[in-house]
């Protein structure tokens, strides 16, 4: 067992999670979620790693033997424990977790959960949402990384727009975007690039295919690059040629919906109210049945985070939130149109982070 020490921000983050443990009367937190591991230790995503945060000792990171050197080199304020070759984290649970301890869990595998239940602990409670709440409060260096990821997303979409031409394949458009984002510094993506054109553009999360673009068709591209494990996200819709009246109506409604959302969004506004304002607008214009998706979500570490802006959400916008707003309409016979931009929530407004223009018609 070896340990590497360093100063903030990990001490501050650990202090917040220890306060959370104290509020629950718990003494230990266990999580396999890569975002939790990176946030509290600085360690990059490692397959098979388990984080154990203890109130009476430094955090413990259990990793496969082939990852131990990378974990030691990157983990801060953390002890690193190597598994033996062929050993699984679940095998160490009875050794790491005393029977009389009170445990909170983040995201863990079924095998570890069953092993914890077999120990008949004094206390075992799920705490994924409290962990997300801790990570929701972004530090300035986190915001800078998200902004860098958004800039990379813009580069990817610009590259895609240059090959958005008649007879181009959806797969080739996605490949151009992905290559441009890699060249710009992205280490990967938190979701595979979506490209959907023509009749397929009514599918909000469509994967690209070998389908070739045709004149007069609507389509969209949605990219999600990672920069130092923080997420970017951006969607742009395009039309080859000139818009029909029905297509222009769709574009106008979606553009107006995004503008209305930006005018309303600020700290203290409920996510459900924000969603309903857009849904109501679409219904008033006869298109409410074609808005099947969420309106937006927070951006953060390795994936989306609170607030979730959707039907049924209980989240409230907070000052400092970095959010994606992405109204869209998906109408059979006409096509799909989505506009997504990134914003920072303050006490009195919604500040834009993304700045890529909404180019619509491509000749």
pLDDT value of position 84: 94
> Is residue 4's pLDDT more than 60?
no
> Is residue 97's pLDDT more than 90?
yes
CA distance 61 to 45: 12
pLDDT value of position 7: 52
Same domain, 205 and 248: yes
> Is residue 77's pLDDT more than 90?
no
CA distance 159 to 154: 9
Of 136, 166, 196, which residue sits at a domain end?
136
pLDDT value of position 6: 42
Which one is predicted more confidently, 249 or 8? Answer: 249
> Is residue 147's pLDDT more than 80?
yes
pLDDT value of position 3: 38
pLDDT value of position 5: 40
Same domain, 126 and 249: no
Same domain, 31 and 165: no
CA distance 312 to 6: 42
Of 102, 136, 170, which residue sits at a domain end?
136
Same domain, 43 and 118: yes
Domain count, the chain: 2
Same domain, 28 and 146: no
Write out the residue range of the structural domain in which residue 69 sits: 2-136
Q: Which residues pair with 302 in a beta bridge?
A: none
CA distance 329 to 292: 8
Using an 8 Å Cβ cutoff, are 196 and 235 in contact? Answer: no
Same domain, 123 and 148: no
Same domain, 227 and 131: no
Indicate which CATH number applies to the domain containing 44: 3.40.350.10
Distances (CA, A) of 230 to 35, 43, 187, 190: 9, 13, 10, 9
Same domain, 202 and 223: yes
Over residues 149-172, mean pLDDT: 97
Give the pLDDT confidence of 187-198 residue by residue, as tens digits.
999 999 999 999
Give the pLDDT confidence of 312-348 residue by residue, as tens digits.
999 999 999 999 999 999 999 999 999 999 999 999 9
Of 136, 152, 186, which residue sits at a domain end?
136
Same domain, 330 and 186: yes
Identify the band that residue 363 occupies on the pLDDT scale cut at 50, 70 and 90.
confident
Report helix, strand or coil for 240.
strand
pLDDT value of position 35: 95
Same domain, 130 and 155: no
């Amino acid at each position: 067992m070896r340990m590497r020490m360093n100063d903030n921000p990990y001490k501050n983050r650990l202090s917040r999670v220890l306060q959370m443990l104290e509020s629950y009367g718990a003494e230990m937190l266990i999580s396999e979620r890569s975002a939790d591991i990176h946030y509290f230790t600085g360690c990059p995503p490692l397959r098979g790693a388990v984080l154990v945060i203890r109130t009476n000792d430094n955090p413990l990171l259990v990793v496969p033997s082939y990852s131990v050197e990378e974990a030691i080199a990157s983990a801060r304020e953390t002890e690193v424990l190597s598994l033996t070759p062929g050993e699984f984290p679940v095998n160490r649970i009875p050794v790491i977790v005393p029977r009389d301890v009170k445990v909170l869990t983040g995201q863990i595998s079924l095998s570890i959960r069953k092993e914890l239940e077999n120990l008949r602990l004094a206390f075992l409670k799920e705490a994924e949402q409290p962990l997300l709440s801790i990570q929701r409060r972004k530090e300035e260096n986190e915001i800078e990384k998200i902004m860098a990821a958004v800039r990379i997303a813009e580069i990817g979409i610009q590259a895609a727009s240059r090959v958005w031409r008649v007879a181009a394949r959806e797969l080739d458009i996605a490949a151009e975007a992905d290559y441009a984002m890699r060249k710009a510094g992205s280490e990967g993506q938190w979701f595979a690039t979506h490209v959907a054109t023509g009749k397929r553009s009514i599918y909000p999360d469509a994967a690209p295919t070998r389908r070739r673009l045709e004149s007069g068709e609507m389509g969209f591209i949605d990219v999600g690059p990672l920069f130092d494990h923080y997420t970017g996200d951006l969607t742009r819709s395009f039309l080859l040629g000139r818009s029909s009246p029905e297509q222009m109506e769709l574009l106008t409604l979606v553009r107006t919906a995004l503008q209305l959302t930006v005018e309303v969004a600020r700290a203290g506004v409920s996510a459900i109210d924000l969603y309903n304002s857009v849904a109501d607008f679409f219904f008033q214009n006869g298109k409410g049945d074609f808005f099947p998706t969420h309106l937006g979500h927070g951006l953060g570490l390795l994936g989306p985070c609170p607030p979730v802006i959707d039907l049924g959400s209980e989240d409230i916008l907070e000052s400092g939130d970095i959010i994606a707003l992405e109204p869209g309409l998906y109408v059979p016979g006409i096509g799909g149109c989505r506009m997504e931009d990134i914003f920072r929530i303050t006490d009195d407004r919604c500040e834009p982070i993304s700045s890529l223009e909404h180019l619509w018609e491509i000749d």
